[in-house]
Chain A
């Protein structure tokens, strides 16, 4: 079974902090994705990556950046956290077709 592991289930940070969310997959998938999920808005794609050191903006990249130095790891960075970034963050990976998701990180920015 594919395993996608997100480093934290719950995280509380303060406004202005730089926040790192980590995601690791164990299936050698080329594609990795970061989404945020908010009530009434569904899943929205923040960034995705097709390969090491490659990244593409999704629908809502503002205020975020990503890093993919190794194939198995895809990091989401909130450069200067703001309260409107309080959300559930989901990481996923895929080879083709079905995406495999981690259990999410519920991030609160105070």
Chain B
């Protein structure tokens, strides 16, 4: 079952611009996570935001969470060519278990 749905499916921007990706989910959660996947590689964890948090920063990443709208956004500022990757949100579906449900991802391309 797909819990998270990312939007847009693909995004292409110029280097230096900001990139914003959105994620919506259906059920209550304990936390929401964002991951990056470079082509042909495994996923890398970027950031986790708990359900009682509204915003979190990590370097050039900013994540927001709106539990009333069941949505989250990932902002990458001052994008670089190395940010080209697919980005996935994942939720724990509030079950208290450690398993995650992933969205289908946003394919981000940074053009030099």
Contacts and interface: CB of A to CB of B under 8 A. Distances in A.
Given A35-B102, A43-B88, A59-B1, 7 more contacts: A41-B104, A42-B88, A48-B99, A90-B43, A92-B42, A94-B98, A101-B43
Given A90-B42, A104-B41, A104-B42, A98 B102 contact: no
A56 B97 CA distance: 11
Interface residues on A, range: 20 to 34
Interface string B17-34: 000000000000001010
Interface of A: 4, 31, 33, 35, 40-43, 45, 48, 50, 56, 58-59, 90, 92, 94, 96-104, 106
Contacts of A50: 98
Contacts of A99: 43, 45, 90, 100
A98 B37 CA distance: 14
Contacts of B33: 97-98
Contacts of B88: 42-43
Contacts of B104: 40-42
Nearest to B33: A98
A42 B103 CA distance: 6
B5 to A, nearest CB: 10
B102 to A, nearest CB: 4
Looking at B1, B42, B103, B104, the one whose CB has the most chain A CB atoms below 10 A away is B42
A63 B89 CA distance: 27
